[in-house]
């Protein structure tokens, strides 16, 4: 059973979806524009396995407080550090992220603060390459995207179009598509204002990630996962992270898209649990 609660991390009020179970806790970080609900399929499977896990709304997304007007990535770093600290009281956490959440997971694992993280599963990790679709969409400053989002259309058309686009961009296996979950992920762009604001934030976030220096110093076990049908982050990005992270693994899921937790929740759960078991062995008294 998935439970819900309000909490505060780094001064940011937010919502956590969580399941009870054995530690170490698996901490789940969603991608850009998503709420913690994107992890419901994985949370359900971790609950069945008796594994403690929590998915949190990042600042400015889902039911979290709005982000400050300053650069978002430093805020995200501080927020994730606070989440990790809150859930590592009994054992170091296993950090699992998708897209923007994956990028934050890598940054957290490489932090000079030496956060209590025993391993990461990083899916569709951006920063080292985008697909041709994304490069074309954000050519120049991406202004035409926000212009297009503001085109007037009946609400039902916008709603259907947003649902179709979300399903296409996030899933790789259409047979796994959950219409209710797609609506949760796409509802924020049902209005012209919502779509325009989200695309403005997406443009700013993409350029911020692209401008960041290379992340180095990941010392914990790391698994990089890439969906072969990812239409947003290029395979070269996941491969590049793997090559730049000594001792890491690269797992390619042939039928998964940009959000492997939606297409292949069993596989993501298994990868997280492998790191959990390794953590338990390492924490066992001699």
Q: Which of 98, 16, 77 shows the shortest CA–CA distance to 263? A: 98
pLDDT in tens, 174-228: 888 888 888 887 776 666 676 778 788 888 899 999 999 989 889 899 999 999 9
Between 273 and 159, the more confident residue is: 273
Q: What is the pLDDT of residue 286?
A: 46
Work out the pLDDT band at 260, boundaries 50, 70, 90.
Answer: very high
Q: What is the pLDDT of residue 157?
A: 64
Average pLDDT, the chain: 89
pLDDT in tens, 221-254: 999 999 999 999 999 999 999 999 999 999 999 9
Phi/psi for 69 (5° steps) reads -75, -10
Q: Percent of the chain scored above 70 by pLDDT? A: 89
Averaged pLDDT, 43-71: 95
Q: What is the pLDDT of residue 152?
A: 60
For residues 80 and 88, give the distance between their C-alpha atoms in angstroms, rounded to a whole number.
12
Q: What is the pLDDT of residue 146?
A: 52
Q: Is the pLDDT of residue 30 over 90?
A: yes
Q: Percent of the chain scored above 90 by pLDDT? A: 67
For residues 120 and 275, give the distance between their C-alpha atoms in angstroms, rounded to a whole number.
8
CA distances from 235 to 128, 180, 229, 230, 277 (A): 9, 28, 9, 8, 28
Structure tokens at 21: 């179970």
Helix H or strand E encompassing 275: helix 265-283
pLDDT in tens, 111-170: 998 999 999 999 999 999 999 988 887 876 655 555 555 556 566 566 777 788 778 888
Torsion sign (Cα): 120, 126, 127, 128:
positive
Q: Pairing relation of β-strands 249-253 and 12-19?
A: unpaired
Maximal CA-CA distance, the chain: 66
């Amino acid at each position: 059973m998935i439970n819900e609660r309000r909490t505060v991390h780094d001064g940011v009020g937010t919502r956590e979806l969580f399941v009870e179970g054995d530690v170490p806790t698996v901490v789940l970080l969603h991608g850009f524009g998503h709420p913690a609900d994107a992890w419901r399929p994985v949370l359900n499977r971790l609950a069945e396995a008796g594994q403690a896990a929590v998915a949190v709304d990042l600042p400015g997304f889902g039911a979290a407080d709005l982000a400050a007007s300053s650069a978002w990535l430093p805020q995200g770093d501080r927020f994730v550090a606070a989440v990790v600290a809150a859930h590592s009281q009994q054992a170091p956490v296993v950090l699992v992220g998708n897209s923007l959440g994956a990028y934050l997971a890598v940054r957290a694992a490489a932090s000079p603060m030496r956060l209590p993280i025993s391993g990461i599963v990083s899916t569709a990790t951006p920063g080292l390459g985008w697909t041709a679709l994304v490069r074309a969409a954000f050519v120049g400053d991406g202004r035409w995207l926000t212009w297009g989002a503001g085109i007037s259309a009946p609400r039902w058309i916008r709603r259907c179009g947003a649902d179709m686009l979300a399903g296409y961009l996030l899933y790789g296996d259409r047979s796994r598509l959950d219409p209710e979950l797609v609506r949760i992920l796409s509802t924020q762009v049902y209005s012209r204002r919502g779509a325009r604001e989200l695309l403005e934030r997406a443009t700013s976030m993409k350029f911020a990630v692209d401008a960041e220096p290379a992340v180095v110093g990941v010392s914990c076990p790391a698994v990089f996962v890439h969906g072969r049908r990812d239409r947003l982050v290029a395979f070269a990005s996941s491969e590049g992270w793997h090559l730049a992270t000594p001792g890491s693994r690269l797992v390619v899921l042939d039928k998964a898209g940009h959000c492997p937790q939606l297409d292949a929740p069993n596989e993501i759960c298994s990868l997280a649990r492998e790191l959990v078991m390794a953590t338990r062995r390492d924490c066992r008294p001699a």
